[in-house]
């Protein structure tokens, strides 16, 4: 049992690196995901994951498989889409969901075009699905930096972010932090997606944000417990996913995301808050 | 005097929602803002708090900082599914004193407890706002307003969908604020309620129809005029000042 659960991480350096990288991204992506869910922006994560593709592709074309170049490219592309869609929705009458969908589609099409004209299938697979078992020093540092920045920004902007989600009119009436909270949060989403794509790939890294918080919602109600539980689910999912990947020989990022997905399905069926079982069971009520 | 409107036009795109408004609100007054739907009442409140910049003219606060203005939007603006407790929600009223980053000190906590007491919300401290009734939620929002200790309080339809007992309690609180020298401007629809509790009224219908003592403002003639003017919205109107 000990061998099965711990030996891979003791014996193999690449497993240790994968674990550290995935733990870092769990700690930062899961809380960001909680706020995405509470703002009813869960699909925004998916849109932004597509939006960073051309930046990563251009980075790859300029500098090859360089973490730095692809990261910087991804951040630039993601932030450009976030700022453009935010600015357009504030300057015109069209909502942010529409402008974001429009800009991410343009960005995605540009990314696919750049990759298919200049790159190969293998490069595309790396960007889409990552390579958690081959994390370099540079990638690990990057994940650590992104995790630290995310936790610092979330801690310092916590109150404005909560009020922006719940009652942005009130925030606008007492301070000018409403756009600061909104755009800082979108930048965090981009940073975590870009950080995540080295380990998990652009598409799978969205799962690290959304699935833990979606699962946690069926178990706890308060915001602090949601943040705590979604981090725990993400950490456990990474650990279990890496083990399964090691022992069964499955690719890492789908293993991690499928385990998180399994946790979500189990929670929605059997959780204690508004789950399927709760809805189907005969309701009891208090006497007064 | 706490607030002046100098030839103020507020609107969205080209259409004026409030047209050429010029008047003064005295400090310590209790003003009902009356008019049909679409008359520009909410727009005017948004102009006062600076969420909307006038297309023309000027809105000036006198000896009052923007942070001393509290605003209660229509209730449907709050996301009730957000997991925040009654106590946390009311504590947000300390924003002007502790800001976005400061800690809630013990004196603030005592004030929060006292505000909850005044609004009859003892025992609700740890409840999530999603579990409250409409009336209880409005009490929570009034408790947050109380915490803001503002000089100018703007209320947008505070009693819509609220039962008579809660409305009665909240009106008492408004009188209490007014007796303490605060200025209150409230969007209201119930004319009897306005006549009983609000000495001053502004009848708006995309422009000021009448402003002053409530009994003189809310006459049948004025109300008819307000309705007619509100229906005169014209997509093909000339540009103002060019005819």
Best probe of the B interface among A39, A156, A174, by most B CBs < 10 A, is: A174
Q: List all residues 6 or more positions away from B35 whose beta carbon is below 8 Å from its beta carbon.
A: B41, B203, B204, B205, B209, B226, B230
Provide the edge-to-edge strand list for the sheet that holds B56-61: B15-25, B3-12, B56-61
Nearest to B223 by CA among B196, B241, B205, B206: B205
CA dihedral for A266, A268, A269, A274, sign (positive or negative): positive
Return the pLDDT at A58.
Answer: 85
Chain A residue with Cα closest to B148 = A174
Query: For testing the chain A interface, which of B48, B92, B131 should be mutated: the one with the most A CBs within 10 Å?
Result: B92
Q: Which residues of A35-55 are buried (b: 16+ CB within 10 A; e: fewer)?
A: bbbbbebbebbbbbbbbbbbb
pLDDT 10s digits, A215-238:
999 999 999 999 999 999 999 999
Whole-number pLDDT of residue B230: 74
pLDDT confidence of residue A125: 65
Indicate yes or no: CB of A173 within 8 angstroms of CB of B67.
no
Looking up tokens 């947000």, which residue turns up? Answer: B92
Q: Does the pLDDT of residue A246 top 70, yes or no?
A: yes
> How confident is the model at residue B243, as a pLDDT?
52
What are the domain boundaries of chain A? Answer: 2-270
Closest CB from A93, A177, A226 relative to B100: A177
pLDDT of residue A154: 95
How far is B26 from chain A, CA to nearest CA, in Å?
Answer: 22
CB-closest option in A156, A169, A222 to B77: A169
Task: Give the mean pLDDT of chain A.
Answer: 87
From A36's Cα to the closest Cα of chain B, the distance in A is 12
Compare CB distances from B92 to A38, A93, A163 and report the shortest one's residue. Answer: A163
Radius of gyration of chain B (CA): 19
CB contact under 8 A, B77 and A159: no
The hierarchical CATH code for the domain A2-270 is 1.10.3470.10
Q: How far is B49 from chain A (nearest CA, A)?
A: 6
Answer yes or no: is pLDDT of A129 > 80: no
What pLDDT digit, counting tens, does each position of A135-190 carry?
788 888 888 999 999 999 999 999 999 999 999 888 988 888 988 999 999 999 99
Top-confidence residue, B113 or A200: B113
pLDDT of residue A63: 80
| pLDDT computed for residue A118 by the predictor | 77
Instruction: Determine the average pLDDT of the residues in A43-48.
Output: 87
Q: Where does the pLDDT of residue A114 fall: very low under 50, low under 70, confident under 90, or very high at 90 and above? A: confident
Binary contact (A162, B85; C-beta < 8 A):
no
Residue A92 or B153, more confident: B153
pLDDT(A273) > 70: yes
pLDDT of residue B233: 60
- Name the 3-class secondary structure at B163: coil
Q: What is the pLDDT of residue B236?
A: 65
Taking an 8 Å cut-off on Cβ atoms, the answer to whether A165 and B128 are in contact is no
Q: What is the pLDDT of residues B37-57, one digit of tens each?
A: 888 999 999 999 888 889 899
Regarding predicted confidence, which is higher, A288 or B136?
Answer: B136
- For A100, the enclosing helix (H) or strand (E) is helix A96-118
State the average pLDDT over residues A201-220.
Answer: 90
Q: Where is pLDDT greater, at A114 or A215?
A: A215
Q: Which of A90, A164, A165, A167 to mutate to test the interface with B (most CBs of B within 10 A)?
A: A167
pLDDT score for A277: 86
A160: nearest CA partner in chain B: B100
Q: Which of A165, A169, A175 sits opposite B100 (nearest CB)?
A: A175
Question: What residues of chain B score a pLDDT lower than 70?
Answer: 14, 75, 232-243
CB B158 within 8 Å of CB B99: no
User: In the structure, what pLDDT confidence band is assigned to residue A259 with cuts at 50, 70 and 90?
Assistant: very high
pLDDT of residue A233: 97
Query: CA B139, CA A103: separation in Å to the nearest integer?
Result: 42
Give the one of B69, B77, B79 whose C-beta lies nearest to A165's C-beta. Answer: B79
Alpha helix segments (H runs only) across chain B: 41-48, 86-91, 95-98, 106-118, 134-148, 164-179, 191-197, 214-217, 220-230
């Amino acid at each position: 049992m000990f061998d099965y659960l711990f030996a891979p991480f003791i014996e193999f350096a690449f497993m240790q690196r994968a674990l550290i990288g995935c733990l870092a991204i769990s700690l930062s992506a899961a809380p960001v995901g909680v706020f995405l869910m509470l703002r009813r922006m869960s699909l925004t994560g998916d849109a932004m994951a597509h939006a960073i593709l051309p930046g990563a592709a251009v980075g790859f074309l300029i500098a090859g498989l360089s973490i730095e170049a692809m990261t910087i490219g991804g951040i630039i592309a993601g932030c450009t889409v976030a700022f453009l869609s935010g600015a357009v929705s504030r300057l015109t009458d069209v909502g942010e969901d529409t402008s974001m969908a429009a800009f991410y589609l343009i960005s995605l099409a540009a990314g696919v075009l750049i990759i298919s004209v200049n790159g190969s299938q293998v490069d595309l697979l790396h960007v889409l699905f990552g390579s958690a078992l081959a994390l370099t020093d540079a990638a690990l540092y990057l994940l650590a930096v992104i995790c630290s920045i995310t936790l610092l920004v979330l801690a310092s902007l916590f109150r404005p972010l909560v009020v922006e989600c719940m009652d942005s009119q009130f925030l606008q009436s007492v301070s000018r932090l409403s756009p600061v909270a909104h755009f800082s949060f979108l930048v965090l989403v981009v940073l975590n997606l870009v950080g995540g794509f080295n380990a998990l790939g652009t598409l799978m890294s969205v799962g690290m944000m959304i699935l833990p918080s979606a699962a946690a919602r069926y178990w706890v109600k308060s915001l602090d417990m949601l943040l705590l539980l979604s981090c725990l689910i993400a950490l456990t999912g990474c650990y279990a996913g890496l083990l399964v990947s090691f022992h069964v020989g499955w690719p890492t990022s789908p293993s991690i995301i499928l385990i998180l997905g399994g946790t979500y399905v189990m929670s929605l069926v059997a959780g204690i808050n508004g789950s399927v079982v709760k809805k189907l069971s005969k309701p009891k009520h208090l006497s007064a | 005097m706490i607030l002046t409107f100098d030839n103020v036009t507020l609107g969205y795109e080209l259409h004026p929602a409030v047209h050429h408004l010029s008047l003064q609100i005295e400090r310590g007054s209790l003003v009902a803002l009356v008019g049909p739907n679409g008359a520009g009442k909410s727009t005017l409140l948004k102009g006062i708090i600076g969420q909307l910049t006038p297309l023309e003219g000027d809105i000036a606060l006198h000896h009052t900082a923007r942070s001393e203005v509290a605003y209660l939007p229509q209730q449907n603006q709050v996301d009730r599914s957000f997991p925040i407790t009654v106590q946390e929600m009311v504590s947000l009223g300390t924003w002007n004193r502790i800001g976005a980053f400061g800690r809630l000190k013990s004196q603030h906590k005592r004030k929060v407890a006292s505000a909850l007491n005044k609004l009859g919300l003892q025992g609700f401290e740890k409840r999530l706002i999603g579990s409250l009734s409409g009336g209880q939620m409005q009490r929570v929002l009034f408790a947050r307003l109380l915490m803001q200790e503002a000089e100018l309080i703007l209320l947008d339809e505070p009693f819509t969908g609220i039962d008579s007992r809660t409305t009665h309690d909240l009106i008492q609180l408004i009188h209490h604020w007014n007796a303490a020298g605060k200025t209150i401007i409230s969007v209201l629809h119930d004319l009897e309620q306005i006549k009983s509790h609000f000495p001053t009224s502004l009848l708006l219908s995309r422009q000021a129809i009448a402003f002053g003592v409530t009994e003189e403002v809310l006459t049948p003639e004025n109300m008819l005029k307000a309705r007619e003017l509100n229906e005169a919205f014209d997509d093909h109107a000339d540009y103002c000042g060019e005819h």
